[in-house]
Structure 1
Amino acid sequence: MIPPKGGFYSAGVMTIFVLDKPDKQSIMMMKIIFKKIQRIRHLWLCLLAMSFSSGVFCQNLDSLEQVLQTGKLTVGDQIKILDDLNWFYNSVDAGRSIHYGKLGLELAQKTGNKKMTGTFLKNIGVSYYMDGVNDTAMIYLEKAKPIAENLNDYRMLAAIYNTYANIYRVQSMYNEAIENYLNAAKTLEAHQDINGLTLIYSNIAGIYQIMANHRQALPYLKKAEQLAIKTKDNEGLGSVYIALSDVGLELGDPKDTSVQYAQKAMKLFGQTGNRLFENKALQTLAKVYYHHHEYNVAVPLARQAVDRAKDLGFARNTAEALTIMSNTLFYQGHYARSAEVAIEVLATDSTDINIIRNIYSNLVLANAYLGHPDLSYKYMDRYREFADRHTTESYQKSLSELQVRYETQKKELKIEALEKQHQLYIWLGIAGALLLLIALAFAYIRYRLAVSRRKLAEKETQRLEQEKQLVAVQATLDGETAERTRLARDLHDGLGSMLSAVKLNLPQVQGNALLESVDVSRFQKAMGMLDDSIQELRRVAHHMMPESLLRFGLKVSLSDFCAAIPLARFHYFGNEARLPEKMEIMIYRCIHELVNNVLKHAEATQINVQLVQEADRVSFTVQDNGKGFKPDSTTEGMGLQNIRSRVEAFQGKMEILSSAQGTEIHIELDLTKLS
């Protein structure tokens, strides 16, 4: 379709004429569609021509060109006609469009008409883009942009953004294309101008479809659909329905949804008489059915699309229809027929990268299934050649804007040899840089592996050393516990029994003897001292290995221990399940040592002992209100070192917090690490 005046060209499914330089078939179809639009615009042109001369009636464009050459028009009228001729020809004959645009630009600049100067600059840029000369198109567009901004002409500015985006799209610079399409959309949205937004939204969706980002394309297609319905743009609506059918296919929507969109598009284009896009809708419908493995339906539709495309005479449309036919036959298992159709596609001289990739893939796989390895290799080599050529072309198109300008200005000097040499140096530089990066990457990886191995070895050595220390500490603790148990038993059963026997025998020694009062006092004092010795012996034996700890557990033994110390208060939280014997002994010894340290050094008036026992951990805290100390600057004594060693033997954590207000030592043991 010919775009509305203002420079809005589609980049997606909205039209195929602006993707590359139009071929002869495209120009023929453009003329057919152009005639429909011309019926509307021709009336104004006729009226304008009649105002120039009473003998001029409704004429065609050639007549208007003749009127322009008579020299009987004012400068303003000449500018108006040149503007229309420039715009109408840009989709049919880029050379003539550029010619009339430059004539109009010269007149506009002479008269100081800023608006028309910007308009001609923009239109000439569009014409160069339609002719495939993108670098020159960018130069004219950049000259037009500041004029549009100074005039606050948002329509012209949106058209410039849109054409920028189209140029970036054909250069595969999709990020820049999206940015400029969004700028065009924002410009129109800011002025609530919905006439051009349908196409802009479709263009944005088209970029996302090219990038296979169909979910981001969907919201823009929905917006375009609503606007097309609101503005009664059946052509635009039909194109949106084709895109929605294709997007739904990619997103896995139900078959009926994609089928309905394609059928709606066919109906709309049938009503508008646009046979080209009606055929594109038919192709989409065929693709939907073969995608859902309904080949009996897809094959007749694809064949019908091929026949119609050939009748229309559009090489690109024919290639698209044949590609769908080749795909359908391939998935149906007719590999020989699929290959024949694929070769027919190559004969159309299509330059569409997606079509060529698709066709060579079909040829490689079909010949592989048919048992023709030589042909498979042949087409694989051709595919690689095509891919390499496309990569080179893409790289050339992505050169900086400054370099493009330089090359454009120097075309007349024919510096092809220098350009090729420059490209060679670039590729050699890129290759060298890649090799250097690969070498650096390998060196870095080897270095990191060496560092990792060294760190692992160091960690393993540290782990083994820690295990040795823990085993030694555990053995020491086990020996200490065993020795304490033996000493406690010996003291209680041996020495304790002997002292008890002495106490029982002393009264018998006294017998009925009459003692002096002094001797009686001494005897009673000796008996008292013997009682104290027995009591002290029992206390020592109890603390060395408290019987309540072995029989009743931590809660009872620590309650007894704290009850014997006036300053101490014991708090217990959690369940009362018994812990492993070694752990209970370790916890008891640690608390015993910490409380003794407070009594010896802290000058405290209150000691809080807290034990928290849970299913997966045990923690205990000893807190006092004494004078405290500085853990960072004070060397730990033997008592704290022993406690820390015992805790580490059970893979626990010890934390010391001390200040002038007191000291708190918290120890936590993870029971899961000991299972």
Structure 2
Amino acid sequence: MKLKRQRGLQHLLIWGFTCITLLTVKGQSTQQLSPSEIHQLVERYINYSRDSSLVLLNLASQKIRRIQDKDSANALMAENNLRRADYWTFYDLDSAEAYTGKSFEYYKKNIDDKRLAEIYILKAQMTRIKYGKITCAVYEALPYFDSALTYAEKYNNPAFLSFIYYERSISFELMERWDESFANAVLALKNAQISGDSLTIATSCFLMGRTYHHFGLFNSSESYIAKSIEYGNGMAQLYSIIHIYADVLLQNDKQDLAQKNYEKALKIALEKNDLSKASTLYTSIGQIQLNKGDYKGAENSYAELNSILESNKSAGYHTLLFIAQMHYHLGNNDQALEDLDLFKTKFGSGSVIPRNIDVFKDAADLHTSLNQPELATFYYKKWGVLKDSLYSHTSKQQLNALEVMYLKERRKNVEIVQKNDELSESRQQQATMGGLLIIVILLGGGLVYFIRMKGMKENQALKFALKEKQLGQLMEAQETERQRLARELHDGIGQSLAALKMQLQFDKNPQASDTTVQRVDDICNEVRSLSHQMMPIVLKENGLQSAVEQLIDHSFSTSSIEVDFVCFGLNRRLPDNIEVNVYRITQELISNIIRHSKASKAGIQLLKRGKTLLLIVEDNGKGFRKDDKAQGIGLSNINVRLEALGGTVQIQSAECEGTYIHIAIPTSSEINKRIA
């Protein structure tokens, strides 16, 4: 009955929030909420009441349609689309992508740094959701976070920057790139502290605590998660954080403090009617009470657990084992054995998360108490194997301890007369198995070494063949360039000089000097134009940013393509080899857009972030297949240049879907010295 009243109270609170929000909107007849105010309300409460958020978004749409000024209406509708994209991201990916596209089209024309950063974050999140939390999907999402950071740094909102670094940290964590994950977690916390926002600080502290927990640094983890709880009043998942905090305290042998936090998390879970979480918390509390000898408290926890658990079959491994322990404690050994049979069926052949492997030792202890040495040995060995894989430096001591425990249990169930014979046979079997195991390990190690060396040789051969192919393509491109220059010199400058020579030989008219001077000027201009194509003067004199700006102006001056150029962080000159190669790469990509893409819009970003130079080029053209020969030589030239610079390239393109190219080049002095 208590739980039913709590559930009714929860529904009443949700309906109350919805009604108050709508009545507030409807009741303002003279001072009605504007669409902008509605959007701010949705942005603030979207994670608290989804139904109310959708009602408010629909209301804002109706108000926007009645606005006469088209510019104002378009701006408000773009924000409405962005809020809808945020609303649908985790529930209807197709709708979220559609609304994101509409909003993106508007904000690309009408630049808003905050909104563009939000859009790129949504694109990254949708990429992770669309393809699952696999490494390649997360890798595809990272360039979107780079773009989001570019715009967020201009907007200069520390809380917003903290959120982006938080998402990047989670992405690197999913890829198991823990150093980069930790670096982004530190930046998330730094910006959160600058912002002073309590919930942002709580989220960042929890991220740091979870990261330290992964590395087994439980004292540091405990400190950060405690701060997260301190700042986290109002967080929707606060009780989950308190639960994890209690787990860390228990691993630090602080049973009393762990029990208090389990009870605090349990109270919130019951208020939220999260019965699954509540059953787990009752289990943790009951096991602490059993360990402390508080059997009355354990019986109370067990009774509460039974009142919310539908059946033993729905219980997790900790809960099921606790139920078996309580049945044994209450003298119901048959029921305890049934619980253990169910435990073995569900979890005996599977695996548990590393920090919970002691559940198998508890199962072994209970089987020992129930006089079942074979099953006790099975779980002791399983526990030992898992411990060995997690803590290899202590595996010998653990296995020896397990063997001693096993032999003690055997001695209790074997007659004294047979003890020496059985021990001798057991040792002989162990020696035989040990010898066989050593042979298998040696053979397996040799086989692995052979396969690895063979794979390395094949990989080196493939790399050499690829380098030869790229070198051939580069030589072909250089030869084509030489032939073009020869034609330019022969057909243009050569013929002009020949004509000038004939004029000087045969034209005796003194008034012809003006014509001669004009011809000389034309030849000079042609030579200057040719030299600029080979090495623009502005690149040497003013640097990469000015050269790229001039290249864009010159290349797109006769084209109908609308181009958007963003440059950030290039306050100092880069090494010559980087500037020249990046200029040539940009020249090649612009040429591909003009000649092949059939695009109406293009975007070029040149960004300096830390010790990395980023070049991002995108268009809305027809796209291409990566095996397209028309694109192949140009892309091969780009790959050769990037390999020389130690850079990387990511290309996202398909027919009729546009092209997105993300290039990253290290600019640190150590790498440049190595390249030189």
TM-score band, normalised by shorter chain: 0.3 to 0.5
Rg comparison, structure with higher value: 1
Identify the structure with bigger relative contact order (alpha carbons < 8 Å, sequence gap 6+).
Answer: 1
**Normalised TM-score (structure 2):** 0.41
**Normalised TM-score (structure 1):** 0.41
